[in-house]
Amino acid sequence: MEEQVVQGKSSKRSFVGVVTSDKMDKTIVVQISTKKLHKLYKKYVTSVKKYKAHDEKNDARIGDRVKIVESRPLSKDKCWRLVEVLERAK
């Protein structure tokens, strides 16, 4: 009997968003906006959610586009961590 092995499959969620706050030490607030089609009115509705993410090197600044990934709980509100800064703010 053959076994199928799935390689490179991560169950951790990841998002790309914009940094809205970097005032805390080693923590950033990332705003994720998603567009969803309304069922009845057939109009796109934008929803916004904010996540606190761990930034070990205090690298990200306000306005940067960043990628965050799910991690173990680091504090009461923080269970995401910064993977990379995709685009710097101008």
Position 90 confidence tier, pLDDT thresholds 50, 70, 90: confident
Q: Is 65 helix (H, G, I), strand (E, B) or coil?
A: strand
pTM exceeds 0.75, yes or no? yes
The H or E element spanning position 69 is strand 65-70
> How far apart are alpha carbons 76 and 73 in whole angstroms?
7
Q: Domain 14-87: which topology? A: OB fold (Dihydrolipoamide Acetyltransferase, E2P) (2.40.50)
Structure tokens at 44: 């796109």
Supply 59's token pair: 């690298």
* Domain segments of the chain as ranges: 14-87
Return the bridge partners of 65, or none.
18, 87
Greater pLDDT, 48 or 3: 48
Q: What is the pLDDT of residues 32-83, one digit of tens each?
A: 999 999 999 999 999 999 999 999 999 999 999 999 999 999 999 999 999 9
CA angle (66 as vertex; 33, 58 as ends), nearest 5 = 130
